[in-house]
Every structure is written in C-alpha cells, then in structure tokens.
C-alpha cells in the first residue's frame, strides 16, 4: 500500500517547516503518510490543487499568498473557515466536495492558553493588525470570551471593518477598533498580527498600553526575540513568546482534521526551538 499523500502549497515554499512538523506527527502516531512542499506558480494555484487531489492526494495545507484563493475555490467551508475568509487546510469530504478549513485561530488560542498559560477569558486584549492573519484568528479569540478586544491597525478603516464583521461573535466582549494610537489603558495581552516584524518594524505604540502583567505574543516566529516582544519587555511588560507554537498547533489541528488523531505538540515545539527542522 502506498502512503497517504499530503502537502503544503505556497509561493515561496522552500523554507516551510510544515513537512518536517507533519513527519514528526506521523512518526509519533505510527501513521504512514508522505507530506511534501509544493510551490505553485502565482497564477496556477487552482490547477495545482486540482492536480494534487486528482492524483489521490488526501489533504493540503495552504500558505502565503494563497489562503484567500483556497477559501474561494472550495465548494464547502467549515464554520470557522467561513468567517475567517481564508483557508489553510483543504481536503475532500465524504461526499467528494473540496472543503476548506482554517486551523490558525485554534492554533493561536491553543498556544496561548495551553502551552503558555496566557488566558484570554475575562481579559483586556489588544490585537495589532487587521489583515488576513488577524481576520483568520478573530473567531477563536472571541470564543474565549475576553472582557474587551481592541483591534488597532495602521489603516483604521480596516480595523473598523473587522469590528463590523465580528460583531455577532463578540457577544458580551466589548469589541472596538481603530488606528495604532487609538487604544487606551493597560492591556493584559497584546498580540502582534501585523507583518511589520517581517521588515524588523513595529507599529507605533504607546508605552501606556503596557503594565507589569502585560503579556506580549508575536504571531510571527523567529529564532531571535522579535522587535515587538523586545518592545513589550523594554516597556515593563513580560517577555512574550513568538509564533512557533502557533505554527505547530495549527499543523496539529490540520493533522486532526485529516487523520482524526491529535498529535503531542510539546516535543515538536521544543525541537523547533532548539533549531531542528
């Protein structure tokens, strides 16, 4: 019997950790899978997906810049993918439909609350950014029932749009949005969901947002302390964590969607932190 086939599709893709992470999960679970990385040409994402599934592929992860396109081409979407407006997981369901899921938000919440014991329930939470990455995680973050969630973005109108979109999910949470200098008061948790750190940059933030108990979390991952986490620490907050745990947790949730098995993420996160993969 041949191994079940999985892959991550992106452009570029050569630095993806996903093949390594999924091979660790498969080894743990004793599952026979092959997981590769596919670079799709920018104009040929849909063709690449169709070719993969027509040769018997079981599941795909999707990364930059194709998550919205994956969402749009699917004929079915899970509830969490529907609201996220983007998909990082694709599979063919029992009725033969191309189905989109999004495990990023679950990955973030799992890494915050379980791996790092950073609770969101009842807390004042600030999210920086209002792009695809933030939209993808807002549903699961609001499901934790923070007391307040403020979305601050360089372009304030984009934050306001997300506030409108997630009003129902917010329930009792006081949901607000605006520009980078609009949030007021000390926050318990500040999550950086901007791509600013990729350029070694930081949104302009007021030091009044940070108190001694403020916890930072950078959705980007890096072997160095990220500029955002350094900024929180330098302004008297706690040294935050980067997104390596989120990366492994979203992969674990995809593995669970495909295989029905929940991998043990701790050894995989520890190995990545020590330079493996």
Active site residues: 67
- The smaller minimum CB distance to ligand ATR, of residues 37 and 84, is found at 84
For ligand ATR, the binding residues in 186-205 under the rule CB under 6 A are 194-196, 199, 201, 203
d(CA 226, CA 172): 33
| The dihedral formed by the CA atoms of 186, 187, 188 and 189, expressed in degrees to the nearest 10 | -150
Binding ligand ATR (rule: CB under 6 A), the pick from 49, 60, 81, 133 is 133
Q: Count residues contacting ligand ATR (CB under 6 A)?
A: 16
Give the count of beta carbons closer than 10 Å to the beta carbon of residue 73: 16
Reference 201, options 180, 228, 175, 235; nearest CA is 228
> Residue with CB nearest ligand ATR?
131
Residue 129 interacting with ligand ATR (CB under 6 A): yes
HSE on the CB side for 115, CA within 13 Å?
Answer: 25
CB of 222 to ligand ATR, least distance (A): 15
Q: Per-residue string for binding with ligand ATR, 143-162, x by CB under 6 A?
A: ----------xxx--x----
Q: Is 250 in the site for ligand ATR (CB under 6 A)?
A: no
Residue 58 burial (CB count, 10 A): 18
Shortest reach from residue 43's CB to ligand ATR, in Å: 19
Which residue reads 């599709």 in tokens? 9
Q: Do 196 and 153 contact (CB within 8 A), yes or no?
A: no
Binding residues for ligand ATR, per CB under 6 A?
129-134, 153-155, 158, 194-196, 199, 201, 203
């Amino acid at each position: 019997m041949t191994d079940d086939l999985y892959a991550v599709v992106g452009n570029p893709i050569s630095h993806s950790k996903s093949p390594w992470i999924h091979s660790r999960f498969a080894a743990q679970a004793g599952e026979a899978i092959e997981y590769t990385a596919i670079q799709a040409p920018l104009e040929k994402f849909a063709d690449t997906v169709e070719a993969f599934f027509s040769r018997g592929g079981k599941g795909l992860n999707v990364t930059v810049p194709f998550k919205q396109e994956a969402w749009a081409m699917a004929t079915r979407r899970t509830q969490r993918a529907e609201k996220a407006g983007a998909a990082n997981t694709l599979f063919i369901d029992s009725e033969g439909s191309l189905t989109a899921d999004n495990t990023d938000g679950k990955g973030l919440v799992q890494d915050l609350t379980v791996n790092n014991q950073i609770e969101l329930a009842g807390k004042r939470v600030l999210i920086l950014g209002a792009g695809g990455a933030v939209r993808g995680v807002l549903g699961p973050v609001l499901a934790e029932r923070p007391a307040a969630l403020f979305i601050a973005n360089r372009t304030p109108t984009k934050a306001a749009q997300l506030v409108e979109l997630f009003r129902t999910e917010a329930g009792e949470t006081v949901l607000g949005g605006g520009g980078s200098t609009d949030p007021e008061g000390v926050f318990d948790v500040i999550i950086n969901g901007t791509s600013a750190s990729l350029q070694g940059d930081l949104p302009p933030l007021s030091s009044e947002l940070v108190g001694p108990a403020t916890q930072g979390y950078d959705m980007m991952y890096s072997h160095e302390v990220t500029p955002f986490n350094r900024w929180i620490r330098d302004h008297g907050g706690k040294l935050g964590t980067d997104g390596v745990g989120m990366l492994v947790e979203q992969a674990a949730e995809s593995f669970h969607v495909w295989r029905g098995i929940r991998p043990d993420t701790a050894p995989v996160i520890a190995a990545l932190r020590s330079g493996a993969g």
